[in-house]
Structure 1
Amino acid sequence: MSISPTEGTAAAVDLNFAECECCGLGEECTPAYIDRVRERHHGSWICGLCSEAVQDEIHRAEYRISIEEAIDRHMRFSRKLHLAAEKPEESAELLIAALRQLMRRGLESRVPKDRRQRALVGGRRMR
């Protein structure tokens, strides 16, 4: 029994190029996948890594935020990093700010969420 060269091969798949609106990463994806990602992110096409960062923004927020607000926060952060790469003289300052933000996130994640929520009164932290 012989197999012809066309048997067992996958059918041609229509691929489109999509670029992440946060970090600029480009990927080849099916149109259906691009549509699902845009639907999930309210019209924005976001790569998997940025999607995880957006979810992290939502979970880390002191109060409930929308997906749109989380995307906006992540896009602002991503733009700052891109600007730092374009202007090396400002990159040290932005790197320090990014490290400060990462350290705060790490420290805040160590405090149980219920204790953080009890510290909130009217949307503000008590000191």
Structure 2
Amino acid sequence: MLGETRGNRKHQSDKLKGGSETQSSSSLKIVSQVEVECVKCDSCGFTEECTPAYISRVRQRYQGRWLCGLCVEAVKHEVVRSESVITTEEALDRHITFCREFRSSTVLNETEHPIFAMGRLLRRSLDSPKPLRSNSTGALGVKTLQLIRSESCFSSISG
């Protein structure tokens, strides 16, 4: 009787495993079928990939305008930090005005743009030889003694 119970449990667990595999494969199909769209922030110009449902929710909150996550947080902060009580619409207008003025006042050429600077920095770090970090005395010109091994590190097995 005990053997039958164990056998039934094993059979039931096999069924559960099979069911979870089916569930996971069907959920993988759902994940792979999610469509995303590229959308550009109406405030800063940043482009993000988002689902149409998320895009719709953000546009409903911000009078039909799309805002990236950073600008959404900036608008929320504007509402909180304002000395007088302002609406989200007023905070949004202030933020968009700020972004426009900032972009028009700062003319960056390609060499000054932060993204290009980071690219140059990355290329330089990849092209330069890497110093040994563990040998800090080597950079100071200090001679170090080397250990000389007289025998094998492995013990011999003699039969």
TM-score tier, shorter chain, comes to: 0.5 to 0.7
Q: Which has the larger radius of gyration?
A: 2
Counterparts of 1:44 and 1:86, CA distance in 2: 25
Counterparts of 2:47 and 2:108, CA distance in 1: 23
Match of residue 44, structure 1, among 47, 56, 65: 65
Q: Which 5+ residue runs of structure 1 have no aligned equivalent?
A: 89-127
Correspondence list, 1:112-127, <5 A: none
Give the letter for the 2:96 counterpart: M
Q: Which one has a larger percent strand, Structure 1 or Structure 2? A: 1
Please name the residue that 1:60 is paired with. 81
How large is the Cα RMSD of the aligned pairs?
Answer: 2.4
Counterparts of 1:62 and 1:74, CA distance in 2: 15
* Corresponding position: 1:35 with 2:40: no
Provide runs of 4+ in structure 1 moved above 6 Å: none
Return the offset for 1:11.
2.9
Instruction: Give the structure-1-normalised TM-score.
Output: 0.59
Higher RCO, 1 vs 2 (CA within 8 Å, ≥6 residues apart): 1
Correspondence list, 1:72-111, <5 A: 72-86=93-107
Q: How many residue pairs are counted as aligned between the two chains?
A: 87
